[in-house]
Amino acid sequence: MSKSKASAGPRYQALLQLLRTSEALWNSSRIFFSKWDISPSQFNVLNVLVEQPEGLTQIELSRLLIMHRSNVTGLVDRLEDRKLIQRKDNPNDRRAYRVVLTPTGRKLVEKILPAYYEAAEQIWGDFPVKKTKELVEGLERLSENVEKFSATLGEK
């Protein structure tokens, strides 16, 4: 009786390509944001806060950015040192702060966004918008599957 060998099919190849693309995007974004002396992660914090005039707690930021609270703390510290964000007392919880964008931080995001949107268009090139929407739907499903799979890993 022979054991069937697992083979690297098209789905495995797709995962590898997704990882390669992710790495290429991350490296490119580091270079892109260096013009403004910020990291991609710092930009993500600023960009999330643009839509939150009342600010967010660091826990809320960590959930939205899908990163550990300790990493958010370091990002917030560095952005606060540059006067791009500030911690304000949280009227609902004296133990927590609300992180808000400063006027300087808002100006920086407003300066970056047009170039960021243009870069996104350049990256997509002539890739059809319809296929882009299908890709987003597929990636959302893939993300859900990854979450389910990850949950089973802890059970074993």
Q: Tens digit of pLDDT for each residue in 20-66?
A: 999 999 999 999 999 999 999 999 999 999 999 899 998 999 999 98
**DSSP structure class, residue 56:** B
Q: What six digits make up the tokens of 73?
A: 């703390």
- H or E segment and range at residue 74: helix 69-81
Closest CA to 84 of 143, 37, 29, 137: 37
The domain limits of the chain are: 27-125
**pTM of the entire predicted model:** 0.83
Q: What six digits make up the tokens of 147?
A: 């979450």
Say which range, 7-11, 49-53, 78-82, 139-143, has the weakest mean pLDDT: 7-11
Contacts for 118 with CB less than 8 Å, ≥ 6 apart = none
Fold classified for 27-125: Arc Repressor Mutant, subunit A (1.10.10)
Distance of CA 82 to the CA centre of its chain: 21
Q: Is the pLDDT of residue 2 over 70?
A: no
